[in-house]
């Protein structure tokens, strides 16, 4: 089976053509700067170690997707004879609100329901739906499936997802914690459970650490809490996002600096986090270089970043009554050995012991990082959100055709 996985941003389109049953990736790549001067597409065939970059104008997502179709069906470098070989298309959709607790086959009714949640993710959902409509136009008759970032966290109990605001803010405005990176937290926690032998009961903490970062508490395979909230701004300190702060600080800064709502939003989402404290970059690698050079603001940024992750691990261990495994994923979680070591340092009270020698060596795939006498398993597990989307697309075609409405 061949599933085309699409992840549409406002000016980008990531894609993978893969078999969800064998996990084989036939082709993958990225179209970026859509609608902007300097549009380009990356195209890669992993099995042949083949890569090419195509620079071509892409005024809209339609031209970008046409370029993708042309590439995968190209006589010389294509991987399929025609789009008829594509059996389904799976789409990443950021926000499903409370409407969708699992992946769904896309119909006009479903797309209207997704649009009702657009105000919860104004930068993402419209772009995701644009990708859906473009695929429907260029590949008519092919089933399209929506896989939601928020769906995995819909198992959170009310005590975890509710905010202590007037109750009507929840009933009338849908203000609550939703959580994000759900496909990653699902994949990593499922992989960890498989490594553990699929026990009936498990307490897993997943640390998805990238430029955007979140932690989740997964009890018996279900998300019971996560660090991101109504939006991806809540929780950990991130590359450019502030994470948890006193809400009154927002009003204080806004009023003192005379900022508009948009300017304040930009300050919190794009000028804060590692960038705000370090001042030179939002990239963790640059921050680590700054630490090595003795830059005091880099050192402070690193300390704050680590402290927040440890705080969430401690909180979630308490919430679940212990922890069996701690997993690291995402660009930082998978590659920054120093960050992993600093996060685990001091967690002896939980029984977590890191094998520093194994942790310091970069290895591909799932890697056990805990010592043999550690009471808590510590693993580095590369996430695979595209596989989750492809797999859910395949399963959706078999099992479901209507949206789930809790």
CA–CA gap between residue 78 and residue 81 (Å, rounded) = 7
d(CA 245, CA 253): 12
Cα distance between residue 285 and residue 77, in whole Å: 35
3 state SS of 111: helix
Identify whether the C-beta of residue 27 lies closer than 8 Å to the C-beta of residue 41: no
Q: Measure the CA–CA gap between 336 and 284, rounded to whole angstroms.
A: 8
- 324 in active site: no
How far is 63 from 328, CA to CA, in rounded Å?
37
**Catalytic entry in 74, 149, 355, 373:** 149
Comparing CA positions, the residue from 58, 140, 154 lying closest to residue 103 is 154
φ, ψ of residue 171 to 5 degrees: the values are -70, -35
What residue has token string 């695979």?
384
Closest CA to 273 of 206, 213, 230: 213
Six token digits for residue 129 = 């739906």
* Active-site amino acid positions: 149
């Amino acid at each position: 089976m061949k599933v085309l996985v699409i992840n549409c941003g406002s000016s980008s389109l990531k894609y993978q053509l893969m078999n969800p049953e064998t996990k084989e990736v036939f082709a993958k790549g990225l179209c970026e700067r859509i609608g902007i001067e300097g549009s380009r597409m990356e195209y890669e065939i992993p099995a042949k170690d083949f890569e090419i970059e195509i620079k071509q104008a892409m005024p809209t997502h339609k031209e970008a997707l046409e370029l993708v179709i042309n590439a995968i069906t190209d006589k010389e470098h294509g991987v399929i004879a025609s789009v008829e070989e594509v059996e389904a298309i799976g789409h990443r959709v950021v926000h499903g609100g409370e409407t969708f607790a699992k992946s769904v086959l896309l119909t006009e009714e479903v797309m209207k329901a997704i649009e009702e949640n657009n105000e919860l993710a104004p930068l993402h959902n419209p772009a995701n739906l644009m990708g859906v409509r473009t695929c429907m136009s260029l590949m008519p008759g092919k089933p399209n499936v929506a896989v939601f970032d928020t769906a995995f966290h819909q198992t959170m109990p009310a005590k975890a997802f509710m905010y202590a605001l007037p109750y009507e803010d929840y009933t009338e405005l849908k203000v609550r914690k939703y959580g994000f990176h759900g496909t990653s937290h699902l994949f990593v926690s499922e992989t960890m459970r498989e490594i553990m032998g699929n026990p009936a009961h498990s307490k897993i903490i997943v640390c998805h650490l990238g430029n955007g970062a979140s932690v989740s508490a997964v009890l018996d395979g279900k998300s019971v809490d996560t660090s991101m909230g109504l939006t991806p701004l809540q929780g950990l300190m991130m590359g450019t996002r502030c994470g948890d702060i006193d809400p009154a600080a927002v009003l204080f800064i806004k009023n003192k600096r005379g900022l508009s709502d948009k300017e304040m939003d930009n300050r919190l989402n794009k000028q804060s986090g590692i960038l705000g404290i370090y001042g030179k970059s939002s990239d963790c690698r640059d921050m680590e270089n700054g630490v090595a050079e003795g830059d005091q603001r880099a050192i402070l940024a690193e300390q704050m970043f680590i402290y927040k992750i440890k705080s969430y691990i401690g909180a979630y261990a308490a919430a679940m009554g212990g922890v069996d495994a701690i997993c690291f994923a995402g660009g930082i979680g998978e590659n920054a050995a120093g960050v992993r070591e600093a996060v685990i340092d001091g967690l002896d009270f939980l029984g977590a012991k890191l094998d520093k020698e194994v942790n310091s060596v970069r290895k591909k795939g799932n890697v056990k990082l805990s010592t043999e006498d550690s009471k808590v398993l510590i693993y580095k597990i590369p996430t695979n959100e595209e596989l989750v989307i492809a797999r859910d697309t395949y399963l959706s075609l078999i099992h479901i055709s209507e949206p789930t409405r809790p």
